[in-house]
Protein backbone atom coordinates (compact mmCIF):
# COMPACT_ATOMS: atom_id res chain seq x y z
CA UNK A 1 0.00 0.00 0.00
CA UNK A 2 1.46 3.33 -1.04
CA UNK A 3 2.24 5.73 1.79
CA UNK A 4 3.60 9.26 1.86
CA UNK A 5 5.36 10.85 4.82
CA UNK A 6 6.33 14.50 5.18
CA UNK A 7 9.40 15.47 7.18
CA UNK A 8 11.30 18.63 8.00
CA UNK A 9 11.66 21.39 10.57
CA UNK A 10 8.46 22.44 12.28
CA UNK A 11 9.82 25.90 13.04
CA UNK A 12 11.26 28.33 10.50
CA UNK A 13 12.43 31.90 11.10
CA UNK A 14 10.93 34.76 9.11
CA UNK A 15 12.80 35.48 5.86
CA UNK A 16 14.42 32.03 5.89
CA UNK A 17 13.74 29.04 3.65
CA UNK A 18 11.26 26.32 4.53
CA UNK A 19 12.46 22.87 3.47
CA UNK A 20 10.31 19.74 3.53
CA UNK A 21 10.72 16.24 2.13
CA UNK A 22 8.08 13.69 1.23
CA UNK A 23 9.16 10.04 1.33
CA UNK A 24 7.18 7.60 -0.79
CA UNK A 25 6.97 4.00 0.41
CA UNK A 26 5.17 0.96 -0.94
CA UNK A 27 5.54 2.09 -4.54
CA UNK A 28 7.79 3.88 -6.98
CA UNK A 29 7.95 7.62 -7.48
CA UNK A 30 9.02 6.92 -11.06
CA UNK A 31 5.55 5.96 -12.29
CA UNK A 32 4.64 7.71 -15.52
CA UNK A 33 1.00 8.08 -14.51
CA UNK A 34 1.48 10.40 -11.56
CA UNK A 35 2.58 13.80 -10.47
CA UNK A 36 3.77 14.38 -6.92
CA UNK A 37 2.52 17.51 -5.27
CA UNK A 38 2.58 19.80 -2.27
CA UNK A 39 -0.56 21.35 -0.81
CA UNK A 40 -0.86 23.54 2.27
CA UNK A 41 -3.60 24.57 4.65
CA UNK A 42 -3.26 27.61 6.93
CA UNK A 43 -4.91 27.28 10.32
CA UNK A 44 -8.70 27.32 9.97
CA UNK A 45 -8.54 27.86 6.21
CA UNK A 46 -8.87 25.90 3.00
CA UNK A 47 -6.47 23.97 0.80
CA UNK A 48 -3.94 25.64 -1.50
CA UNK A 49 -1.98 23.82 -4.18
CA UNK A 50 1.68 24.84 -4.04
CA UNK A 51 3.20 22.89 -6.89
CA UNK A 52 3.82 19.48 -8.43
CA UNK A 53 6.63 17.54 -10.02
CA UNK A 54 6.76 14.70 -12.50
CA UNK A 55 9.31 11.92 -11.96
CA UNK A 56 11.27 13.25 -14.94
CA UNK A 57 11.79 16.50 -13.05
CA UNK A 58 9.26 18.70 -14.82
CA UNK A 59 7.79 21.13 -12.33
CA UNK A 60 4.58 23.14 -12.15
CA UNK A 61 3.93 25.86 -9.60
CA UNK A 62 1.06 27.94 -8.31
CA UNK A 63 1.63 31.34 -9.96
CA UNK A 64 1.01 33.07 -6.64
CA UNK A 65 4.01 31.27 -5.09
CA UNK A 66 6.15 30.58 -8.14
CA UNK A 67 8.85 33.14 -7.37
CA UNK A 68 9.57 31.51 -3.99
CA UNK A 69 9.01 27.79 -4.63
CA UNK A 70 11.33 25.04 -5.77
CA UNK A 71 10.24 21.40 -5.94
CA UNK A 72 12.74 18.67 -6.72
CA UNK A 73 12.72 14.87 -6.96
CA UNK A 74 15.25 12.24 -5.97
CA UNK A 75 14.18 9.00 -7.62
CA UNK A 76 17.05 7.06 -6.01
CA UNK A 77 15.61 7.82 -2.58
CA UNK A 78 11.95 7.75 -3.69
CA UNK A 79 11.55 11.27 -2.32
CA UNK A 80 10.51 14.69 -3.49
CA UNK A 81 11.15 17.96 -1.74
CA UNK A 82 9.78 21.46 -1.29
CA UNK A 83 11.70 24.65 -0.69
CA UNK A 84 9.85 27.89 0.01
CA UNK A 85 12.04 30.95 0.40
CA UNK A 86 11.55 34.22 2.27
CA UNK A 87 8.83 32.85 4.53
CA UNK A 88 6.51 35.07 6.52
CA UNK A 89 3.74 34.42 9.00
CA UNK A 90 1.41 33.93 6.03
CA UNK A 91 3.30 30.71 5.22
CA UNK A 92 2.34 29.09 8.51
CA UNK A 93 0.29 26.04 7.63
CA UNK A 94 -0.04 22.29 7.60
CA UNK A 95 1.90 21.11 4.56
CA UNK A 96 0.74 17.96 2.79
CA UNK A 97 2.33 15.92 0.04
CA UNK A 98 0.08 13.96 -2.29
CA UNK A 99 0.16 11.65 -5.28
CA UNK A 100 -1.74 13.08 -8.20
CA UNK A 101 -3.08 11.11 -11.12
CA UNK A 102 -3.18 13.05 -14.35
CA UNK A 103 -3.98 10.61 -17.08
CA UNK A 104 -7.52 11.03 -18.45
CA UNK A 105 -8.68 11.81 -14.91
CA UNK A 106 -6.89 14.03 -12.41
CA UNK A 107 -7.16 13.63 -8.67
CA UNK A 108 -5.04 13.37 -5.52
CA UNK A 109 -5.61 9.87 -4.23
CA UNK A 110 -2.88 9.33 -1.65
CA UNK A 111 -1.94 11.96 0.91
CA UNK A 112 0.61 12.22 3.66
CA UNK A 113 -0.63 12.98 7.15
CA UNK A 114 0.73 16.51 6.97
CA UNK A 115 3.34 18.42 8.88
CA UNK A 116 2.79 21.70 10.71
CA UNK A 117 5.15 24.56 9.96
CA UNK A 118 5.34 27.56 12.26
CA UNK A 119 7.10 30.76 11.25
CA UNK A 120 8.56 32.57 14.22
CA UNK A 121 11.80 34.11 15.38
Assign residue 90 a region (left: φ > 0; alpha: ψ between -120 and 50; beta: otherwise).
alpha
CA distance 30 to 61: 20
CA 49 to each of CA 13, 37, 40: distance values in angstroms, whole numbers, following the listed order: 23, 8, 7
Q: Rounded to the nearest whole angstrom, what is the least distance from the CB of residue 22 to other proteins in the complex?
A: 12
Of 7-15, 21-29, 44-52, 75-83, which part binds other proteins (CB under 8 A)?
44-52
Of 23-31, 67-75, 77-85, 94-102, which part binds other proteins (CB under 8 A)?
94-102
Binding site for other proteins (CB under 8 A): 35, 37, 46-49, 52, 60, 62-63, 96, 98, 100-102, 104-109, 111-114
Amino acid sequence: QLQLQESGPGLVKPSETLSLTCTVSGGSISSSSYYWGWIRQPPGKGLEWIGSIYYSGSTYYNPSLKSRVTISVDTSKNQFSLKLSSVTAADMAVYYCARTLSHYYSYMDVWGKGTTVTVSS
